[in-house]
Amino acid sequence: MKAWASRRFGGRFWALALKELRQIRGDRRLAMSLVVPPILQILLFGFALDSHVRDLRLGVVDESRTLQSRDLVSAITENQTFRLTGSYHTAEELGAALAAGRLDVGLVVPYDYARERARHRPVTVQVLLNAANANTAQIAQGYIEGAVAWLNQHPRGGLPAGARPSADAGADGQSVTAPVQPRARVEIRPTFLYNPGLVNTWFIVTGIFGTLIILNGSLVSGATMIREKERGTVEQLLMTPASALEVITAKILPLFVLLMGMVGLVLTVARVVFHVPFRGSLLLMLVACACCVLTGIGIGTFLSTFARSANQTQLIGFFVNPPLAMLSGALTPIEAMPRWIQPVTLLNPIAYFASVARAVLVKGAGLDVVYLQLLALAALAFGLVGVSAWRFRRQHS
């Protein structure tokens, strides 16, 4: 085995690798492009992308103008989800504001709201939601219904008893004489595991991480591969006794080392700036990163065997990268995609990496949980590198 290895990857291999390393060292722009864009991107993505639904603009038509109706409004605006931005006189005005995009949610309280509540008759308030964004609408609806349900269970509203003027006791009479009836309820107690504060950045950063590795890995490796082709020096490489596999491996090794350096930087930013918890084994995470880096290099090398010039590689990248990034579950859950497209994500390295990163970093999972994804990632990496070595030899023979 050792003899085979030294025959195969002897001094020749190291000479080639050294040549690549020197070439990269001479290329200031390449080194810069490995450090600046990834850091900038992870900072931008981490800070700017936030799916949290909050500060929705709420407009109210309060036809009742009573303490009870104001209780309702304050119950709804109690948390950060809604922000009261305007009162309107008629539902038409409210509708116009909604259509003009000045409001996200409208609430119409009927004129008999307080009276009906005092008589313990059901009363209906109207909620108008701008449902253009389906996700926001669903979460907003959940919040409003939750707030109203809470109000129903606590008929006195959120205010402590003393805060209410005594004159009001008459209107609310029933609940004063007969304090809350023991009635059947089911309370649902949600507990958020792994991320109890629901910090959205943890989700975004762990998702974007893989996208960064793949994008930058494929860009950089594509650029170095195509350079030999553009300058015609690839003929000289093939004329040496080194085999195509040796040439490719020698090219990949220095890139791999550099990209792992980038991975270290990004991990540091994730930890220091975004406080992503590192609950699992760091070694496992690094193994996953290594597989992902190899896959990125594989993609870049593979694409460069099709292209004739540097800008062609870049353009082909446009065909590959956006779908790869968007269909990965890095930013939007895979389960939310239509059924027919979900199998496609089985070929997507970013999807595997994102689930490994989330499992290891946030959930603290071990190898027994993520081994399948890790295997898939490794298979993709070696498959891509193998195919590009094969294509590399073929296109020049």
Partner 1 sequence: MRRIIAQARKDLTQLLRDRLALALAVVLPVVLTALLGTTISLTVTDIPLVVQDLDQTPLSRRYIDAYRSSLTFRIVALPIASSPETAIARGRARGALILPEHFEREIRRGRAAQAQLLVDGTDTNTALLVQGAAGQITRAFVQQLPGDAPAPSVRTATRLWFNPGREPRKFYGPGMLVLSLSIFPTVLAALAMSREGEQKTILQVYVSSISAHEYLLGKILAGMVIGMVQCLLVLGLMFTLFGLRLEGDPTPLIVGSVLFLFCVVSFGTWVGGAIPNQAAAVQGVSLGGFLLAFLLSGLIFPIENIPRSLAWISSLVQARYYIVLVRDAFLQGGGWPAVWWAVLMIGVIGVAYYVLAWLAMRRMQVKA
Closest CB to partner 1 among residues 217, 244? 217
Site residue total, partner 1 (CB under 8 A): 103
Whether 244 contacts 388, CB under 8 Å:
no
Q: Which of 17, 73, 114, 219 binds partner 1 (CB under 8 A)?
A: 219
Distance CA 329, CA 339 (A): 14
Shortest separation between residue 151's beta carbon and partner 1, angstroms: 6
Q: Which of 170, 318, 343, 397 binds partner 1 (CB under 8 A)?
A: 318
Residues 12, 13, 16, 17: is their CA dihedral positive or negative? negative
Give Cα 203 distance to the centre of its chain. 5
* Position 138 contacts partner 1 (CB under 8 A): yes
- Name the DSSP class of 161: G
Lay out the site mask for partner 1 across 1-40 (x = CB under 8 A, - = otherwise). Answer: ------------------------------------x---
* Position 241 contacts partner 1 (CB under 8 A): no
Shortest separation between residue 386's beta carbon and partner 1, angstroms: 26
Q: Which of 63, 93, 116, 168 binds partner 1 (CB under 8 A)?
A: 116
Backbone φ and ψ for 39, nearest 5 degrees, come out as: -65, -45
Lay out the site mask for partner 1 across 175-214 (x = CB under 8 A, - = otherwise). Answer: ------xxxxxxxxxxxxxxxx-xxx-xx--x--------
The answer for 194, left when phi > 0, alpha when psi is -120 to 50, beta otherwise, is left
Distance CA 306, CA 295 (A): 17
Closest CB to partner 1 among residues 166, 181? 181
How many other C-beta atoms are found inside a 10 Å radius of the C-beta of residue 168?
16
How many other C-beta atoms are found inside a 10 Å radius of the C-beta of residue 82?
23
Interface region with partner 1, contact rule CB under 8 A, candidates 7-15, 156-164, 259-267, 323-331: 323-331
Distance CA 158, CA 56 (A): 21
Lay out the site mask for partner 1 across 372-391 (x = CB under 8 A, - = otherwise). Answer: --------------------
Shortest separation between residue 67's beta carbon and partner 1, angstroms: 14
- Name the DSSP class of 331: S
Closest CB to partner 1 among residues 110, 393? 110
